[in-house]
Amino acid sequence: MGDPWLSAYDAALRVARKAGAVIRDAGEKEIKVCTKSSTVDLVTKTDERVEKIIIGALREQFPDHCFIGEESVAKGEPCNLTDKPTWIIDPVDGTTNFVHGFPFVAVSIAFAVNKELEFGVVYSCLENKMYRGRNGKGAFCDDEKIEVSDVKDIHKSIIISEHGTDRSCEKVEKIFSTMKKILCIPVHGLRGSGTAATNMCLVACGAVEAFFEIGIHCWDIAAGAVIVKEAGGVLLDVNGGPFDLMSRRMVSANNMVIAERIIKEIEIFPADRDDAPIKKITKFCKK
C-alpha cells in the first residue's frame, strides 16, 4: 500500500512555503483592502493571488482532485466535501492581521479523502514556523515533534478564541458573555492570535490548553484539526458532540477534561453551515 498521499503532502509543504514568501513580500507594499460579509471581514488582492498560486500548483500536479478555497467559495464556488481527494485551503488566515502588520498570518492547507482529513499544513509565515501533521504520523513544528499541554486543572489554563467578523449585537453579546464566564472561572488567561489556524497550532504545541470559536469556516480549521489530533488533543462540537468540519463551530483542547469544562460556558449562536446552499458573497472595494 505504501504511502499514497506522500507526494501530496510534500507538494503542500512546498506550496505553503512559497505562498508564505508571497505574503511576506506583499506585506511590505501598499495593501488594497476590500470587504466581504461585513465591513470588518477583510480581503485583499494577496488573498486571491495566493489562493490562485496554491490551487494552480496543486491542480497541475493533481488534476483530478477537488478544491475548496476560501476566496473561490466567496466568489460562488461550491463548498461541498465529497469522497473525492479534496484540498481545503485558506490562503491567508489572519487577513486582518496581514492588513495591520500584526505578526500572525498563516497559510492553511488540508487534504481529505473519503471525507477523512489525511494531513494538514499551517505555515505561520511571519514567524517562519511550519506546523504539520499527518494521520497517524504525529505533529511537528518545523522538525520538532509537538504535543499538547498536560494541564487538567482549568484554573491553570490559557484559553484562546476569537470574536470573528459578525458585529451583530446579539452575537457580540454571546461571544463576550462566554469569554467573561471563562475568564471568571478563573483561568490564567484568554488570548487570540487573530487566526484560527495559528490558535489551533498553539493548542497542539502546548502553549495554550484550548481553542473554541463559532463562526469559523472549514478552511480556517481543517489543517489545524489534523495537527491538534496528531499532537494528542481532542476535537469536539461546541455542544459536546462530535467534531463536524463543516458546522462552522468547534472546540479543540489538550484533553477532554478541559474541553468539557469550556463547553459548559459556551453560549451557542447559529451559523450557516459551510455546505449549506451557495451564498455568493459580494465583495466591496472602496475606490
Smallest separation, CB 255 to Mg ion (Å)? 29
Residues in the site for Mg ion, rule: CB under 5 A? Answer: 70, 90, 92-93
230 is in an annotated binding site: no
Distance in angstroms (rounded) separating the CA atoms of residues 145 and 139: 6
Smallest separation, CB 189 to ligand LIP (Å)? 18
- Cβ-contact 181, 279 below 8 angstroms: no
Residue 241 zone, left/alpha/beta (φ > 0; ψ -120 to 50; rest) = beta
Radius of gyration of the CA atoms of the chain, in A = 18
What is the torsional sign of CA 31, 34, 40, 42? negative
The sheet that has 106-113: what strands, in order across it?
66-69, 86-93, 106-113, 116-124, 129-134, 139-141, 144-145
> Would you say 218 or 238 has its CB closer to Mg ion?
218
Of 106, 140, 126, 102, the C-alpha closest to 220 is 106
275 is in an annotated binding site: no
90 is in an annotated binding site: yes
Residues in the site for ligand LIP, rule: CB under 6 A? Answer: 70, 90, 92-95, 162, 164-165, 195-196, 213, 216, 220
- Residue 68 interaction partner, one of Mg ion, ligand LIP, none, beta carbon < 5-8 Å per kind: none
153 is in an annotated binding site: no
- Residue 118 interaction partner, one of Mg ion, ligand LIP, none, beta carbon < 5-8 Å per kind: none
Q: Which residue is nearest to Mg ion (CB)?
A: 90
Of 277, 282, 127, the C-alpha closest to 195 is 127
Q: Give the Å distances, CA to CA, from 113 to 4, 15, 56, 118, 179.
A: 11, 20, 20, 7, 35
> Would you say 133 or 164 has its CB closer to ligand LIP?
164
> Would you say 69 or 233 has its CB closer to ligand LIP?
69
Distance in angstroms (rounded) separating the CA atoms of residues 195 and 104: 7
- Residue 216 interaction partner, one of Mg ion, ligand LIP, none, beta carbon < 5-8 Å per kind: ligand LIP
- Residue 48 interaction partner, one of ligand LIP, Mg ion, none, beta carbon < 5-8 Å per kind: none
> Would you say 38 or 80 has its CB closer to ligand LIP?
38
Q: Which residue positions form the known binding site?
A: 70, 90, 93, 220
Q: Which residue positions form the known binding site for Mg(2+)?
A: 70, 90, 93, 220
